[in-house]
Amino acid sequence: MTKAEIAHVLTEIGTLLELKGENPFKIRAYQTGARIVESLAEEEIARRIADDTLEEVKGIGEALAQKIGELHTTGKLGFYEKLKASIPAGLVELLQISGVGPKKIRALQAKLGVDSIAKLQAACESGAVAALEGFGEKSQEKILEGIRNREKYSRRHLWSDAFATAEPILAGLRALPQVLRAEHAGSLRRKMETVGDLDFLVATTEPKPVADWFVAQAGVKEVTAHGETKASVRMQSGIQADLRLIPPEQFVFALHHFTGSKDHNVQMRHRALGLGLSMSEWGLVPAEGEGTAKEKAEQAGRKTDITSEEALFKKLGLAFVPPELREGLGEIEAAEKGELPALVEVADIRGVFHNHTTASDGHNTLEEMTAAAQALGLEYLGIADHSKSSVQARGLDEQRLADQVAEIRKLNASGKFKTHVFTGTECDILPDGRLDFADDVLAGLDYVVVSVHSAFKQSRDDMTARIIRAVENPHTTMLGHLTGRLLLQREGYEVDAEKVIDAAIASKVVIELNASPWRLDMDWRLWRKAAERGLLCAINPDAHDTAGLADFRTGVGAARKGWLTKEQVITTRSLASIKRWLTGRKKG
């Protein structure tokens, strides 16, 4: 079994145990275990199973090590099969309903025999749920509403869509006279590729008018909470937005807390406890003594010297951890040792490769794209239209490619734009790993992006060998979207990323971080280790129109999540440096 499949089983076990009413900490152990498995390299898991050292990984004990080993070697787990058999399959889907958790599900099953969404709906419609102890009319209504909208409400959203929704809300909050400071938090601030809901934090001494504005703003479909310190709304798009109203002196603690991630926060609290401090969204207070954490924090908050996240981290003996890194994947250890990377920034980007024009499936002409690149301050723009096999995308044949190259050379020579245009292609990787153009055609271009656009259903081994063959072609400059995934729409094709990365490093081929909001591929989780081993990254917007060029900014967010520095991202290099690099590759 692959690590992704193992992690999936561990997560499933956690969910099933939850439905059984098991010890919450046991459940968390499985969830943590799943996350740890995901964070390890495929080969490390295999090695640790082989030499029986899985238990040395923090968070994995005897029981988890045994289960992971069994899954990895046999592809099955007796414990999991039995557990699954003991719980009606329909119970798991009940968890999707907003406001319904494990305890309510167990009560509904025990007293009404509910074991599916259909039965729950029927029970609500007959009024049986409202009559149940611990439930009432409102609960019943809420459950029905949750059933009706479960798809819409549970859906995640592309980071860029979430950001587009959040921006005007944040601006609206900042414009209120009672608001001293407002920020967004959560996975949006951490630049996760998808976002579940929006979190807004406001520092204020007059929370009521702020909450009132928030629940009454345009685009609100439903108000789900409206309290003293918190308000929640459901927007028309189905995305939920939460507002937290915080006294100014506690704002920094809340900002850190609600930025998360959960794993990061657990580790931070643990660290604080080790220093005799209790950490919460309210503040950082002595762990000992009388009173609730909130009471202590309120007293401490008035005289706290911590007024920035930098100071908060410093108090715990840590360097400032940028929000993108707060995933509980080693950032705290690195911050402690002063080994956090200086992350690449949007301002570092000097150019972009892999963009389309009307020659293939783009919506803007070469000149329009170049003008847009110049307006973005980019020194160079790579044009990489599709090759002839991508018929659906009007891929260019040899003649049309030659015409385009001539057009680009003419444009560069004209001096019309400051932005230099590189000639390239997004050359299809054919099912057997050959490229869609002959060597002499490829040799005439400034650079070559190779991508898979067909035969997605090949076996993992075939796909891996296919891509590696393409990567090893001496004319290949960079590999496009490693997995071909479309976030929230389509899984990527099966491929052994580790092996492809090794091949790319060996062949001095760059892998792109496709910055299209739907792709963000290669995934940020793979970048840290790959870059440490020497892989270079190109942040490519894969723009199909002028507006799409700016997506490189979204890509920078993903690159930062992957711990990438300016040096590891080739598109931060100057035009002169890139020209030297491209020429050098041709000679070498």
Q: First and final CA of the chain: distance in angstroms?
A: 40
- Residue 198 interacts with DNA (CB under 7 A): yes or no: no
Q: Which is nearer to DNA, 278 or 540 (CB)?
A: 278
- Options 5, 23, 459, 577; binder of DNA; rule CB under 7 A: 23
Judge residue 266's burial from the number of C-beta atoms within 10 Å of its C-beta, 0-12 exposed, 13-18 middle, 19 or more buried.
middle
In angstroms, the CA 397 to CA 433 distance is 19
- The phi and psi torsions of 540 (rounded to 5 degrees) equal -115, 125
Using CB under 7 A as the binding rule, whether residue 59 contacts DNA is answered as yes
CB of 359 to DNA, least distance (A): 45
Of residues 5, 81, 125, 137, which one binds DNA by CB under 7 A?
137
Closer by beta carbon to DNA, 275 or else 438: 275
> What character string, x for contact with DNA (CB under 7 A) and - otherwise, covers 273-292?
-----x-xxx---------x
CB 272, min distance to DNA, A: 9
Site membership for DNA, residue 228 (CB under 7 A): yes
- The radius of gyration of the chain from alpha carbons, rounded to an integer in Å, stands at 26
Interaction residues for DNA, span 167-186 (CB under 7 A): 186
Question: From the list 6, 7, 29, 179, which residue makes contact with DNA (rule: CB under 7 A)?
Answer: 29
CA neighbor of 482 nearest in space, from 441, 434, 525: 525
Q: Build a one-symbol-per-residue string for 139-158: x at contacts with DNA by CB under 7 A, - elsewhere.
A: xx-x----------------
Number of residues that bind DNA (CB under 7 A): 62
Q: Is 250 in the site for DNA (CB under 7 A)?
A: no
Q: Is 125 in the site for DNA (CB under 7 A)?
A: no
CB half-sphere exposure, 289, CA atoms < 13 A: 15
User: Minimum CB separation from DNA for residue 57, in Å?
Assistant: 7
Q: Does 333 bind DNA (CB under 7 A)?
A: no
Contacts of 446 (CB under 8 A, 6+ apart): 382, 422, 423, 424, 582
Closer to DNA by CB, 254 or 376: give it: 254
Question: What is the token pair recorded at 399?
Answer: 């003649």
Q: Which residues contact 519 (CB under 8 A, 6 or more apart)?
A: 481, 485, 486, 487, 542
**Binds DNA (CB under 7 A): choice among 41, 46, 49, 63:** 63
CB of 419 to DNA, least distance (A): 42
Q: Which is nearer to DNA, 196 or 248 (CB)?
A: 196
Cβ nearer to DNA, comparing 28 with 566: 28
Among 242, 436, 496, 523, binds DNA (CB under 7 A): 242
Closest C-alpha to 146, from 128, 127, 121 = 121
Give every CB contact of residue 54 below 8 A, 6+ residues apart in sequence: 45, 48, 60, 64, 65, 68, 69
Among 155, 230, 363, 394, binds DNA (CB under 7 A): 230
Rounded CA gap, 403 and 338, in Å?
53
Q: How long a stretch of residues is the chain?
A: 588
3-state class percentages of the chain: helix first, strand second, coil last, to nearest 5 = 50, 15, 35
Q: Which two tokens stand for residue 383?
A: 């044009």
Q: Which residues make up the interface to DNA (CB under 7 A)?
A: 23, 25-26, 28-30, 33, 55, 57-65, 98-105, 107, 130, 133-140, 142, 186, 196-197, 199, 224-230, 240, 242, 258, 262, 265-266, 269-270, 278, 280-282, 292-294
